Amino acid sequence: MTSPPLAGLRVLELARILAGPWIGQLLADLGADVVKVEAPEGDDTRKWGPPFVEGKDGEHLSAAYFHSANRGKRSITADFRSEEGQALVRRLASHADVVIENFKVGGLEKYGLDAASLRAAYPRLIYCSVTGFGQDGPYAPRAGYDFLVQGMGGAMSVTGEPSGAPMKTGYAVADIYTGLYASVGILSALRRRDATGEGATLDLALLDTQIAVLGNQAMNYLVSGKPAPRLGNAHPNIVPYDVFPVADGHIIIATGNDGQWRKLCEVLGEPALAAHPDYAENRSRVANRVALTEKLQFLTQRYGKADLLAALEKVGVPAGPINGIDEVFADPQVIARGVRVDLPSEAATNGTIPTVASPIVIDGVRQVAPIPSPRLNEHHDDILNDPAWGGGG
C-alpha cells in the first residue's frame, strides 16, 4: 500500500478552537504526525456541547465540535506559563517540521515560543501563525472571531434576503477557509525548503481570507465601484439562478447560459418566454430579474419537486434539492463516495466515532486519518518516548 503523501512530516500544533486545528487535521489526513499541545484544561471546544461523543464508562469523550477538527492527532498537555511547559514545547519544536499556532499577536513572545525565537533556534522550521487580522496593521492586537470577521470582511453584506437583516453563513467560513489557505502556504513553504534548506514564517489572517473568498463579488465592486446588494439566494451575475417554489417545497435552478435558459422554458411549457426581448440574453435577464423571477415562481409552483427535477435533469438544466444535513448523509452519491467514515475507538460507546472525511482523493484513496480525535493528554508517554520527537525510544 502506498504511504500517505505527508508520511514522515512532523507537525507541532499549538492551536485551539477551529482555524489552527483545521490545518493540523488536514495535514494529519494527508499522513503527517501531528502532535497537539493543549493547555492542562484542554482545547476550549472539548466542552462546546452538546452533543458530546459518549464513552463506554458513561463519561463524554469531548464535544462533537472538537471532533470536527482534531482527528488523526496525538495529544499532550503543557502549561506555557511554566518553565517546564516552555521547555517541553521547545524540545518538540526542535524536532518538528511545522509549528501551527493561533494565539493573539505577541501572545507567545513572552514564553520564547514565537516565530522569531523558534526560527532563530531552528532555521528549517515552517512556523504558521493564524490570527484575526494579521501580524501588522491597526487591528493586529485584536482577537479574531469568525462571526465578527464575516461582518467586517463583507460576507454578511451580500448574504441574506434584500429586505431582511444581514446574515452570516451557517458554518465558520472564515475559520475554515483560513485553515485551507494556511495548509496550502505550509505545503508551498515545505517545497521551497526542499530547494533552499530555509524555513519560513507564515502570517495568515481571518480578515484577509474572508475578503479573498468574496471572489466575483469583490471583483464586481472593484470593476464597477458599486457594492453588491443582498440578493437572497439569487446570483449577482446570472439569472435565473435562485431558489424556486414547487408544489411540495423548494428547489434550486441554476442556469448558466442562454441554451440552458431556453431548455428551462421548454420544460416549464413556456418556450416563447425564452425569446422575449427582455429575457433572451443573460444581460437582459439580469436587468429584468425581478419581473422574470416572479414569472418563473408562478410557473414552477405547478410542478412537484421530483417531477420537475427529473425533467430538468433529462435536458441538462442544472437543478437540485435543498437537503437537510440528515438527507445529505442519506444521499446515495454521498454514501457511494465514502464521505462519512467511522473511526475505531475502544473508548466510545459504539466502538467508533463518526467523522466527515477529507474531500481529497489521491489515486482512488480518500485521504483521512485512521484514528479519531485524541483524549486530553492521551499520548503523553508515547510522544515523550518517541525517537522522532527526541525521546529515548
The pLDDT value recorded for residue 1 is 59
264's CB contacts (< 8 A; 6+ apart) are 240, 253, 255, 274, 312, 317
Per-residue pLDDT averaged across 369-387, rounded?
97
3-state secondary structure of 330: helix
The pLDDT value recorded for residue 2 is 83
**Domain of 280: which CATH number?**
3.30.1540.10
Asked whether residue 224 is assigned to any structural domain, the reply reads no
Residue finishing a domain among 304, 325, 346: 325
Active-site residue flag, 33: no
pLDDT level of residue 190 (50, 70, 90 thresholds): very high
Is the domain of 250 the same as that of 358? no
Structural domain of 190 = 10-213+335-389
Per-residue pLDDT averaged across 185-193, rounded?
98
Number of domains in the chain: 2
Kindly state the cell numbers that stand for 125: 522550521
C-alpha 330/C-alpha 3 separation (Å) is 31
- For the chain, give the mean pLDDT: 97
DSSP strand pairing (352-356 vs 340-344): antiparallel
Is the domain of 122 the same as that of 29? yes
Asked whether residue 330 is assigned to any structural domain, the reply reads no
Q: Furthest-apart CA pair in the chain: how many Å? A: 79
Asked whether residue 102 is assigned to any structural domain, the reply reads yes
DSSP strand pairing (60-63 vs 126-131): unpaired
Is the domain of 248 the same as that of 306? yes
Is the domain of 96 the same as that of 58? yes
Active-site residue, selected from the candidate residues 43, 175, 208, 242: 175
C-alpha 74/C-alpha 160 separation (Å) is 40
The pLDDT value recorded for residue 392 is 80
Is the domain of 348 the same as that of 309? no
The pLDDT value recorded for residue 57 is 87
Is the domain of 198 the same as that of 268? no
3-state secondary structure of 74: strand
Q: How far apart, in Å, are the Cα atoms of 383 and each of 7, 10, 203? A: 17, 12, 28
Is the domain of 174 the same as that of 272? no
Tell me which residue of 265, 358, 354 sits closest to 312, measured CA to CA.
265
The pLDDT value recorded for residue 280 is 96
Per-residue pLDDT averaged across 236-250, rounded?
96
The pLDDT value recorded for residue 393 is 61
As a whole-number percent, the residues of the chain with pLDDT over 90 amount to 98
326's CB contacts (< 8 A; 6+ apart) are none
Give pLDDT tens digits for 279-294: 999 999 999 999 999 9
Give pLDDT tens digits for 246-274: 999 999 999 999 999 999 999 999 999 99
Is the domain of 29 the same as that of 167? yes
Is the domain of 131 the same as that of 268? no
Give pLDDT tens digits for 287-336: 999 999 999 999 999 999 999 999 999 999 999 999 999 999 999 999 99
Asked whether residue 115 is assigned to any structural domain, the reply reads yes
Tell me which residue of 86, 62, 79, 70 sits closest to 36, measured CA to CA.
70
Q: Is the pLDDT of residue 222 over 80?
A: yes
Is the domain of 158 the same as that of 73? yes
Is the domain of 304 the same as that of 350? no
**Domain of 360: which CATH number?**
3.40.50.10540
Q: How far apart, in Å, are the Cα atoms of 268 and each of 245, 256, 281, 294, 310? A: 13, 17, 18, 14, 12
pLDDT level of residue 69 (50, 70, 90 thresholds): very high
Asked whether residue 71 is assigned to any structural domain, the reply reads yes
Is the domain of 272 the same as that of 374? no
Main-chain dihedrals φ then ψ at residue 124, nearest 5 degrees: -85, 0
Give pLDDT tens digits for 206-221: 999 999 999 999 999 9
| Amino acid, single-letter form, for residue 337 | R
